Amino acid sequence: MTIYASRFGAVEIPAHGLWTCRQPLAGFEELRDFALIQVAGQSPFAWLQSLELQPIAFLLAEPRHFGLRYPQPADAEVSGLAGAACQFLVMVTIPENKDEPLRPHHLGPLCFDAGRGEFVQWVLEPGRVSVSTGFRPQTGDLGLASALLPRLVHWPEAGDASPASSPSASVAA
Amino acid sequence: MLILTRRTGEAIRIGDKIRIVVVQAEAGKIRIGIEGPRELPILREELYTLIREGNQQANAPADLALEHWLTEGKKETP
């Protein structure tokens, strides 16, 4: 399918690039279908782009870049996904004041199950998670867990000069 | 809003899968027990509000905000 996102323009989302939100996200209960998009030059960040309301996109990064570690959730805590299969990404807020640090949404990490193409937001009580130590990028393949890479949409596709020069996209091999 | 009066030990059913029991009531505070499907998210309202606000703040940062942060913000990271 092709979406026309205000942030990216036209993006081709192949079937294996689709993600389903298993339980509604608080504040965005009507949204179920998403794509994970990584923009050239923006590693280790990725975008969780809504396929239903295209102005909606969340900036994500792995918790480790903020010094966050999460315990393995019980399956029931992640709405029946396999807790052991969780690849966590956290939403990131960019502060309006550039002197303030990036803020991870540490109480609501997203558990991605790459095998099922589903994700869910795990909500933790404040006492169950450590406080972010600030943004410190760690090394790693594109900055994202390798299990997620086959389902990651790259934009623009390899070989294009810049995001502004091409509206097309492809999924990692 | 539906308002019901219940005493300690009494319960309310919501559909056929959710049962809410008044466990204890005293001094302006009540303890309730909730039985329902394990996968049903049950949150204190203040935590739900915190999560919803965090989600809304993370949604759709201004165009170029990340690009600006990547070029300017990273320089300031010690």
- Find the CATH number of the domain harbouring A110: 2.30.290.10
Residues of B near A (CB-CB distance < 8 A)? Answer: 38-39, 41, 43, 47-48, 50-63, 65-70, 72-73, 76-77
- How many Å lie between the alpha carbon of B4 and the closest alpha carbon of chain A? 27
* Contact (CB, 8 A) for A35 and A18: yes
Q: How many distinct structural domains can be found in chain A?
A: 1
Question: What would you measure as the largest C-alpha separation in chain A, in angstroms?
Answer: 46
Q: Which domain holds residue A66?
A: 2-171
Instruction: Match 């309006």 to its residue by tokens.
Output: A96
In angstroms, the CA A75 to CA A86 distance is 10
Query: Does the CA dihedral B44-A28-A47-B49 come out positive or negative?
Result: negative
Tens of each residue's pLDDT in chain A, 173 residues: 888 887 888 888 999 899 999 999 999 999 999 999 998 888 889 999 999 998 999 999 999 999 998 988 888 888 888 888 899 999 999 988 877 889 999 999 999 999 999 999 999 998 888 877 788 887 655 556 678 888 889 888 555 544 444 444 444 43
> B70: nearest CA in chain A?
A42
Residues B23-47 have pLDDT tens digits of 999 999 999 999 998 888 899 999 9
* Contact (CB, 8 A) for A149 and A31: no
Give the Å distances, CA to CA, from A85 to A30, A65, A106, A117.
25, 20, 19, 11
Residues A12-43 have pLDDT tens digits of 899 989 999 999 999 999 999 999 999 888 88
